[in-house]
Structure 1
Amino acid sequence: MEATLDHILDVLGGALPTLLTQFGITVILLAIGVFLYQLLTPFHERSLVAQGNSAAGIVLAGAVLALAIPLASTLATSTALIDIVLWGVVALVLQLVTLLVVALVLRGFKEQIERGNDAAALTLAATQVAVALLNAGAMAG
């Protein structure tokens, strides 16, 4: 039993720095993505959420999930740090483009979110998550 535990601890000790580095880079990419997302949206999610606007909360939650899903896929399928960074950036760009496309298709969604229209928020969030799942699947190959 002790030899097995020693082996497990050796493997863990060797792999843990890589895991933490890859995870840390992915979290940084997610934070950058959420920051850029908030810059691109025509409304201010955080202030709307602070005012109790559930539609803004739904949109922001959907965005965070939609950004995280393809990043998780990249993290799961890539072993090289440069791979994770490059595909992570591609994933973020695709998700941000999704926001811009939805903004063009759903005219007036800014006002709808600001008014607290949960149906509009769910439509945007679901579209973002759906594209994120397709994005993740495509990257997983």
Structure 2
Amino acid sequence: MNFDIQAFQDGALAFLLAFGSAGLVLIVFKYLYQFATPYNELKLIRDGNQCAALTLGGATIGFAIPVAMSMSQAHSLAEFFAWAALAGIIQIVTFVIVRTLVVKDLAARIERGEFSTAIYLASLSIAVGLLNAASMTE
């Protein structure tokens, strides 16, 4: 079995482009999500608030799942970014709906460290991400 260095270089370049693009959209999503929340996740996390870490982690995972799916489904970088943008919008809209209609005092509960609220929000974010990814078909 021979190692084809050219094939590896071509594949590695595609890998780096895909991984870098995914990392970029993940970072952008994280900042947009944090902007949409009424509390400062980073400050809360630095202060040891595990609920803030759980909810931000759940939202990030919930976003990463459809991003991974779009990486395998998209036929171009532009299509990948479009799917990633849609996935991010759906995650943020889900948070806004939960905050305004389901758990109206969500911010206070997260800031107080109420795990039931954090687990609910993180679980919902991951569930939405799974449904989002499953919906990405041609």
Q: What percentage of aligned pairs have identical amino acids?
A: 33
**Structure 2: runs of 5+ lacking an equivalent:** none
1:22, 1:84 within 8 Å by CA — same for their partners in 2?
A: no
Superposed, 1:73-84 pairs within 5 Å as: 73-84=69-80
97-106 or 9-18: which moved more? 9-18
How many residues are paired up? 137
**Structure 1: runs of 5+ lacking an equivalent:** none
CA distance in 1, matches of 2:35, 2:41: 10
Alpha-carbon displacement from aligned partner over 1:9-68 (angstroms, at most 9, x marks no partner): 221111221221122111111111000000000111111111111111111111111111
Alpha carbons of 1:12 and 1:79: their partners in 2 closer, same or farther (altered >3 Å)? farther
TM-score normalised by structure 1 residue count: 0.92
TM-score normalised by structure 2 residue count: 0.93
CA RMSD of aligned residues (A): 1.2
Q: Does 1:21 align with 2:6?
A: no
Moved over 3 A (4+): none
Larger radius of gyration: 1
Q: Does 1:60 align with 2:56?
A: yes
